[in-house]
Every structure is written in C-alpha cells, then in structure tokens.
Amino acid sequence: DSAEAAGTESSAASGDTVTIGFAQVGHESDWRTASTDSCLSVFSADNGYDLQFVDCDNDSAVQLEAVRGFIEQDVDYIIIDPIVSTGWDTVLTECEEAGIPVIVIDRTIDDSDKYVSWVGSNFKTEGLAAGEWLKAYTDAKGISDVNVLVIEGSTGASATIGRTDGFKEIADANGWNILDSQTGDFTQAGGQEVMESYIKSYEGKFNVVVCQNDNEAFGAMDAMKAAGISYGVDGDVILVSFDACTAGLEYVMSGDINADFECNPLAAPFVEEVIKRLQAGETPEKEVYMTEHWFVNEDVLSTINVNGEDQDLTVVTKEIV
C-alpha cells in the first residue's frame, strides 16, 4: 500500500492509479453537494485516481462500515468527513494497523489523533464572527433588546458544536436572550419544521434567527413568509446564516439574509497536496485551515473584530459565483 510505496517509488511518480476511499457525510445541503463535487473532480480517473465514494446519508454506523470496507479493499488513502466528532479511535486504529493513512476533512474528530492530516474550517471562529457581527450591527441600528432563536445543525457534528459555542460566547457576554436552540439537521425541511414550531411558541417575541447553514435558512424563510413575518434588511427579524453557498449569497444580495458566514467546501485541492506529500515520503501539516469570508448586504460596518483580529466584511452587491 501507499505507506510502503512512500518509501520507494510513489504511485504518482510511477503513474500507478492511486485508490482513495471517501466516506462522505451525506447529501443534506448545497454545501455538501459542493464538497462532493470538489472531491469527484479533483480525484477523477483522468487525474490518476480511483475514488471509491460512499454517501453515508448522515448515519454514523454506515460511515464506520464504509471505512471498514475501504480497509478490506486495501485502498491507498481514506478520506473521512466525520458525521459526529466522537467514536473514532477504534476504527482509526484499524486503519493505522492496516497502514492506510487517513485524511479528515471539514468536521473534526475530537477523540482520536490517528489521522495524518485534517483540512477544514474553524467552526468556533464562524460562530464568534456571527456573534461579533450581530453585536456591531444591533449597536449600529440602536437595537438593545436582542431575542434570538437558533436553528442548530446536526447534533454531535463539530460544525454544530463550534458554531453554537462561538455564538453563545458573544450572546452571553452581551446578555442576549437565546429563546431556544433546536436542531434542523442542516436541511431545508428541518429548518422549516423547527421555524414553524418556533413561530407557534415565540411569535412576536424574537427579532433574530440564526440558522447554522443556508439550507436551514431557506426553510426558515419559507416558514416566516407563510406566517407573514418579515425578515432580512427591510424586515422585523434579522436573519443570520452560515455556509455562503451560491443560493445563500443570492439571498444576501436580495437582502433576505442579513449576514452569511462562509464555510469553504473546497477541501479537495488541499487534500491532494497532502496526498502528494505523503507519496513523496514527506510529513504533511497536521491541520490545514482554509480561508473564509463574511458576507453582508448592508454597508453599515466594514470590519468586525474576531479573535482579536479585524476582519473585512464583504458587501454583496452583485452576483458571486
């Protein structure tokens, strides 16, 4: 396998096909589709790869089974986007014993370090950025009473944990009222369902909705529209989202979403660099953070300070693709 090959002639150098198993989370969101497409195009047969792709449909048992299947096939590398952040040490030990390097993308594994590299985003920073933006924005607009409904992502996912923790830190520091925080499972249907139930319980009591991804925001918008609740830059409810996928940015441009905090789905080119380094017998970086931007509709603020650093806001005035 590749661990042995790395010491001699690499598959890439010899022109051999590199076999990769990729255990993807599922197909729950636009972000996920972009992530899958990125991997399929980078790890294509034309580029010298044989990609074994498994859509785990948001089921952790299926994901563990997929990884064990890749071990049986004796693939050269395994890529995992972990549905949940824990429960990994046993199967990663099995990968290690089989001599198959594991590369983790996007969500983190928090109970094992038996992988060679992780490529992704800092979810806590995304949550902090959403909080810092909301603080500066409500100050600028003279809104002192901040009553928030959060629609969380999938339970146990590090993207959910980081965004929840980051935003809550700023909410607590400013005495905001988080009325409720429930999972919408990162889907449009989930976002709509949670928002419909929030409207029944909290109508007239909230002025901010934070959705932990764009698809949930689309569902929340449908629910608010159906209930006659206005949102966005001209509405009664400030709508905050994460991902900044193409459709999300279109809603920022139209003013339906006030602010959208990017999560970069294009990890595959970075993963390919990791694989090239391993093929060359080098040690890749253990953690690779991708660059991300914060998108807003109104030119009210130009920067926000996150983790002690000023970061520019991108005002979306024309189509971004």
Q: Is 32 in the site for ligand AHR (CB under 6 A)?
A: yes
Least distance between ligand AHR and beta carbon 25 (Å): 6
The set of residues, in sequence order, having a beta carbon less than 8 Å from that of 46 and lying 6+ positions away, is none
Least distance in angstroms from the C-beta of 143 to ligand AHR: 27
Work out the number of other CB atoms within 10 angstroms of the CB of residue 281.
Answer: 11
CA 158 to CA 146: how far, in whole Å? 26
- Site track 237-256 with ligand AHR (rule: CB under 6 A), x = hit: -----xx-------------
**Residue 124 binds ligand AHR, judged by CB under 6 A:** no
Q: How many CB atoms lie within 10 A of CB 27?
A: 13
Q: What are phi and psi of 150, to 5 degrees?
A: -110, 135
Distance (Å) of CA 77 to CA 37, 62, 167, 203 = 19, 19, 35, 50
Nearer to ligand AHR (CB atom), residue 29 or residue 192 = 29
How many residues of this chain bind ligand AHR (CB under 6 A)?
Answer: 13
Q: What character string, x for contact with ligand AHR (CB under 6 A) and - otherwise, covers 150-169?
A: -------x-x----------
**Residue of the chain from 11, 20, 31, 134 that contacts ligand AHR (CB under 6 A):** 31
Q: What's the closest the beta carbon of residue 31 comes to ligand AHR, in angstroms?
A: 3
Distance from C-alpha of 308 to C-alpha of 287, rounded to nearest angstrom = 21
CB of residue 168 to ligand AHR, shortest distance in Å: 17
Check binding of 186 to ligand AHR (CB under 6 A): yes
Closest by Cα among 77, 9, 139, 111 to 275: 77
Closest CB to ligand AHR among 29 and 164? 29
Sign of the CA dihedral with 209 first, then 214, 216, and 217 last:
positive
Pick the binder of ligand AHR from 11, 213, 258, 264 (CB under 6 A): 213
The alpha helices in 101-157, defined as continuous H runs, are 123-141
**Interface residues toward ligand AHR, by CB under 6 A:** 28-29, 31-32, 106-107, 157, 159, 186, 213, 242-243, 263
